Amino acid sequence: MKGKGKMMIDARNLTKVYPNGMRAVDGVSFSVKKGVIFGFLGPNGAGKTTTQKILCTLLKPTSGEVTVAGYDVVREASKVREVIGVVFQDPALDEKLTGRENLEYHARLYGMDGKEIKRRIRELSEFFEFGDELDRLVASYSGGMRRKLEIARSVMHDPDVLFLDEPTVGLDAHTRRKLWNYILEMRKNRKLTIFLTTHYIEEAERLCDEVAIMNKGRIVAGGTCDELKRKFGRKSILISFPSLEEKEKALRLIENISGIRIITERDRDVEVQHPDMDEIVLMREIQNTLLNRVEVVEMRMKFPSLEDVYVELTEDTDGGGSGHSIGGFVVRRMMHVG
């Protein structure tokens, strides 16, 4: 690695305007250190795939500076290609070949010799537990098997940086967890740097050391999951009542606390927030309001999830205002409590 040194990925003011005028990426800057799993989150059309394609040299940026492993993605594109592995959002396997042939073909493109290819396939076959599936035609593979093969193929040539665009889409919970383990293992064994685009917040929380949330071509927040929760998430108070009657009684009283917002109301639970009141103060306020009038089973503070933060930050704010917090409340109504 050369150039800027420590950063495996470094993007400065990256912008991509497609020929039709679509500004898909709009002045984005971020960097990823070696060995880090970096999560890229954002709604459909946010510009994630466009960004990843530029990092992988498949697409030229309109402006901005981007290096991968110290190499410039425009001026040193072939160097970049040597050190990266890529799994695309759209499946890109040859259906008419067996799994093994897909791996061999890829390895030959990277100039690996026959002996090395055999060794590497044996190694990956063990790691991904392929068994004899490798000798079947890809056309007969299940979705999970295809995804696994695509990831195996992307690391055949032992890259330093791996790009995964929604690697676990459409997989069942078991297969997804397995793939997570493989990804974590690869990072541990190889100090692989991984750039992972995903729509699954849980996936980002499980895998990623850092995340960036993208919306409409811009990065709206970045940091570790904990940092984001602390910075953007608002805590709420969850109150459980012994019966629906008690809950209804309590709601009528609580609603008198000026400015209070009912976030969710389900079964015998109520979740509330106050935009301008510290949670401890709010808790005391509720206690005082309900004291000797309503029976409460439990009252506790609920910390925001990364999903809460994500929803608030990527709320469609067209139509003006700074309104994401208000929008966030609306959407949060539909989410589960706990």
Ligand X SMILES: Nc1ncnc2c1ncn2[C@@H]1O[C@H](COP(=O)(O)OP(=O)(O)OP(=O)(O)O)[C@@H](O)[C@H]1O
Task: Write out the residues near ligand X by the rule CB under 6 A.
Answer: 18, 20, 22, 24, 42, 44-50, 89
| Of residues 218 and 235, the one with the C-beta less far from ligand X | 218
Q: Which of residues 83-112 bind Mg ion (CB under 5 A)?
A: 89
Q: How far is CA 152 from the centre of its chain?
A: 21
- Binding partner of residue 233 among Mg ion, ligand X, none, CB under 5 to 8 Å per kind? none
* Environment class of 197 (CB within 10 Å of its CB; exposed 0-12, middle 13-18, buried 19+): buried
Residue choice 11, 30, 49, 160 for contact with Mg ion (CB under 5 A):
49
Could you say which of ligand X, Mg ion, none residue 24 binds, taking C-beta under 5 to 8 angstroms by partner kind? ligand X
Report DSSP state, residue 334. T
Say which entry of Mg ion, ligand X, none residue 198 contacts (CB below 5 to 8 A, set by partner kind). none
In the list Mg ion, ligand X, none, the entry touching 280 (Cβ below 5 to 8 angstroms by class) is: none
Q: Structure tokens of 236?
A: 């709420």
The partner in contact with residue 45, picked from ligand X, Mg ion, none with C-beta cut-offs of 5 to 8 angstroms by kind, is ligand X
Using the minimum distance from each CB to ligand X, give the nearer residue, 206 or 218.
218
Can you read off the two tokens belonging to residue 173?
């919970």
Q: Which residue is nearest to Mg ion (CB)?
A: 49
Q: Is 264 in the site for Mg ion (CB under 5 A)?
A: no
CB 150 within 8 A of CB 184: no
Residue 51 beta carbon to ligand X: minimum distance, rounded to whole angstroms: 7
Whether 296 contacts 273, CB under 8 Å: no
Q: What is the DSSP letter of 139?
A: G
CB-based contact 294:241 (threshold 8 Å):
yes
Which residue matches tokens 């383990």? 181
Q: Output phi, psi for 127, to 5 deg.
A: -60, -45
Q: By CB under 5 A, how many residues form the interface with Mg ion?
A: 3
- Site of interaction with Mg ion (CB under 5 A): 48-49, 89
